């Protein structure tokens, strides 16, 4: 899921300015909303008597506020689709043509040395790396008198330039009122109403409309005067940013998709990717259109960077980390048909796809085809709705996987023979997957293959395997809601869901017999279980989120397997299914496929 962090500041007590009544409560209520309703996992709270943070005071002095802005934002720690909000309720003023926030020890007679310029705040916020930065200021309280021009003009212009969404409690020539009857500021009252269950203003655009009506209404009712909030959200697509995903409608998500498609059409790939990531976050990671779009953008980037003239041989650069570069013009393309079935196993859709790959000559006329898998983010594990999910397939969690290459199918007996000089399989056949291979023998195969080719091969991580298997789908199988023995080699006497019983072959079959998934990978369901690098853990608590292998666990002798086999029932062929065997196990239903991690 997207990372959501915030800073909330509320100051009632000032050393050199008149106190405020409800700024602290405004910030406290904002903190509670972000934590309880908006799904923010970390909020840094500063107020008159807020608790210490890591042994440090959180009293909102200039030193403390500058420290958090300096230390927290020293290096980027967020990315596309992530959100960082900054909320300030307190005194603000304009001095020397610049906008300032006044900390509790700010001196109006020495503003430059005791206050905090808002452009410093926005500049630090942008460093976090999130493409969604929201600045909310209830601070137009000039010199504690709420008179004269408050902050806004300079900050609004900088917001436009930096793409920071800025929400102001009132216009520069107006007051920002606290309402005794509400025990809050009028602005924060309306803000929390709009964001919450009363307004359900999921997007910036709808929140702006709500505030423009509700704030003046509250101020007229309680003060019989005027206060006009306003929002700066540029470029225009920022207006469609979904602030509170739980209240997002299908129309909100559709609008974001339209913006994303337009950005793609304009070849603004960075913006398009950001927008698709927002769509994915709003849909809790379950939008296959967004997943495919992100993969499509990665493919476009790859193609746009291709060299203009071919080289006579692939250029390989080895690195200590096992990363290599394949000249992109040496990649080949293959076409294939992908099928989708309904809950009864009937084929409801056929479509043509294509993928890129490179070919490795292993000798004796044997080749190895490695398919390009573009990186992306997906939800790993079993969703609650999935029938027959198992306890060790949870919790569902978001993982970001870098791009890599993966074997088009499990290593065959012919491929194993030419590299290892042996064939331990029970069910003989050059085009059948090799089986009866221990985990250590699979690792040894990767080592010898690397030595022979000059590239670095290894077993896939569990996350890489599931990402590659799903190929953008969120259904139990990449074929859809179920499978049949016309599509997968499994124990056909035990179907999944409403699918009929089918053939039980009682042995492996040749690779590439059935349709692949939309990445162009064959037999990711059934035929043979496939070793992964990971040590087995009995759930995903603490699992890596970067696509890497989980190499620690209670027992290093127990290793992960994925994909199911000819002897397994349909339930165990699901994309989320996890198997486990001792690393020394030698079974006729266990094989493996290889990956190579690549950079452009």
Is 72's pLDDT higher than 80?
yes
> How high is the pLDDT of residue 51?
92
φ, ψ at 307 (rounded to 5°): -60, 150
Tell me, rounded to whole angstroms, the distance of Cα 97 from its chain centroid.
Answer: 40
pLDDT band at 154 (very low <50, low <70, confident <90, very high): low
Tell me if 342 sits within 8 A of 481, measured CB to CB. Answer: yes
Least confident of 120-134, 323-337, 576-590: 323-337
> How high is the pLDDT of residue 22?
95
As a whole number of angstroms, the distance between CA 39 and CA 479 comes to 33
Per-position DSSP letters for 46-100, written without gaps between them = EETTPPPBTTB-----HHHHHHHHHHHTSS----TT-EEEEEEES-EEEETTEEE
Rounded percentage of the chain residues whose pLDDT exceeds 90: 61
pLDDT band at 146 (very low <50, low <70, confident <90, very high): very low
Classify 328-597 by CATH class.
alpha beta
404-407 and 366-373: which strand pairing?
Answer: antiparallel
> How high is the pLDDT of residue 326?
53
Q: pLDDT for 159-188, tens place per residue? A: 666 678 999 998 877 888 999 999 999 999
Mean pLDDT of all residues belonging to the chain: 87
Of the candidates 27, 32, 44, which has an alpha carbon nearest to the alpha carbon of residue 90? 27
Of the candidates 483, 588, 580, which has an alpha carbon nearest to the alpha carbon of residue 525? 483
Is 113's pLDDT higher than 80?
yes
Cα-Cα end-to-end distance for the chain: 27
The domain locations on the chain are: 4-247, 250-296, 328-597
What is the enclosing helix (H) or strand (E) of 556?
Answer: none
Q: Using DSSP, state whether 400 is helix, strand or coil.
A: strand
Is 412's pLDDT higher than 90?
yes
Instruction: For residue 508, give Cα distances in angstroms to 18, 84, 166, 513.
Output: 81, 52, 61, 11
CATH number belonging to domain 4-247: 3.40.50.1460
> How high is the pLDDT of residue 244?
87
Least confident of 354-358, 384-388, 432-436: 384-388
Q: pLDDT for 244-282, tens place per residue? A: 888 888 888 888 888 888 888 777 887 888 888 888 877
What global pTM score does this model have? 0.54
> How high is the pLDDT of residue 1?
54
> How high is the pLDDT of residue 456?
84
> How high is the pLDDT of residue 293?
85
């Amino acid at each position: 899921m997207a990372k959501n962090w915030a800073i909330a500041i509320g100051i009632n007590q000032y050393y050199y300015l008149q106190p405020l009544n409800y700024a602290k409560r405004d910030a406290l209520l904002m903190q509670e909303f972000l934590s309880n309703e908006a799904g923010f996992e970390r909020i840094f709270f500063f107020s008159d008597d807020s608790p210490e943070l890591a042994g440090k005071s959180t009293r909102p002095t200039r030193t403390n506020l500058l420290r958090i802005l300096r230390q927290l934002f020293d290096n980027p720690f967020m990315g596309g689709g992530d959100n960082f909000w900054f909320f300030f309720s307190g005194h603000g003023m304009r001095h020397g043509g610049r906008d300032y926030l006044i900390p509790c020890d700010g001196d109006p007679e020495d503003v430059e040395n005791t206050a905090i310029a808002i452009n410093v705040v926005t500049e630090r916020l942008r460093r976090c790396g999130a493409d969604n930065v929201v600045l909310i200021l209830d601070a137009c309280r000039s010199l504690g008198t709420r008179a004269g021009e408050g902050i806004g003009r300079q900050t609004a212009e900088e917001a436009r330039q930096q793409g920071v969404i800025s929400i102001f409690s009132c216009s520069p020539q107006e007051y920002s009122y606290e309402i005794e009857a509400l025990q809050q500021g009028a602005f924060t009252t309306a803000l929390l109403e709009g964001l919450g269950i009363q307004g359900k203003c999921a997007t910036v655009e709808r929140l702006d409309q709500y505030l423009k009506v509700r704030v003046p209404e509250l101020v007229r009712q309680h003060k019989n005067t005027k206060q006009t909030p306003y929002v700066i959200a540029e470029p225009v697509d920022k207006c469609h940013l979904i602030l509170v995903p739980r209240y997002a409608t299908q129309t909100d998500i559709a609008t974001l998709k339209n913006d994303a498609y337009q950005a793609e059409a304009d070849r603004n790939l960075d913006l398009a990717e950001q927008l698709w990531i927002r769509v994915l976050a709003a849909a809790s990671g379950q939008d296959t259109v967004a997943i495919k779009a992100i993969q499509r953008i990665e493919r476009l980037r790859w193609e746009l960077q291709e060299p203009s003239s071919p080289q006579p041989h692939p250029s390989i650069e080895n690195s200590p980390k096992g990363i290599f570069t394949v000249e992109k013009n040496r990649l080949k393309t293959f076409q294939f048909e992908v099928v989708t079935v309904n809950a009864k196993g009937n084929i409801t859709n056929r479509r043509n796809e294509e993928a890129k790959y490179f070919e490795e000559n292993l000798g004796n006329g044997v080749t190895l085809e490695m398919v390009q898998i573009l990186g992306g983010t997906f939800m790993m594990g079993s969703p609650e709705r999935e029938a027959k999910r198992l306890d060790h397939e949870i919790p569902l969690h978001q993982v970001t996987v870098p791009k890599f290459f993966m074997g088009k199918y499990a290593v065959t007996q012919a491929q194993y023979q030419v590299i290892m000089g042996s064939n331990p399989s029970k069910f003989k056949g050059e085009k059948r997957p090799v089986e009866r291979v221990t985990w250590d023998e699979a690792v040894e195969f990767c080592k010898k293959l690397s030595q022979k080719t000059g590239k670095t091969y290894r077993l896939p991580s569990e996350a890489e395997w599931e990402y590659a298997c799903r190929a953008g789908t969120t259904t139990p199988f990449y074929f859809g809601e179920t499978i049949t023995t016309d599509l997968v080699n499994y124990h056909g006497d035990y179907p999944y869901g409403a699918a009929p019983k089918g053939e039980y072959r009682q042995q492996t079959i040749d690779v590439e017999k059935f349709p692949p998934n939309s990445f162009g990978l064959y037999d990711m369901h059934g035929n043979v279980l496939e070793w992964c690098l990971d040590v087995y853990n009995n759930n995903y608590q603490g699992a890596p989120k970067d696509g890497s292998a989980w190499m620690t666990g209670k027992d290093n002798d127990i290793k992960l397997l994925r994909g199911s086999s000819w002897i397994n029932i349909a339930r165990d062929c699901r994309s989320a299914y996890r198997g486990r065997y001792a690393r020394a196990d030698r079974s006729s239903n266990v094989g493996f496929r290889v990956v190579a991690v690549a950079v452009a």
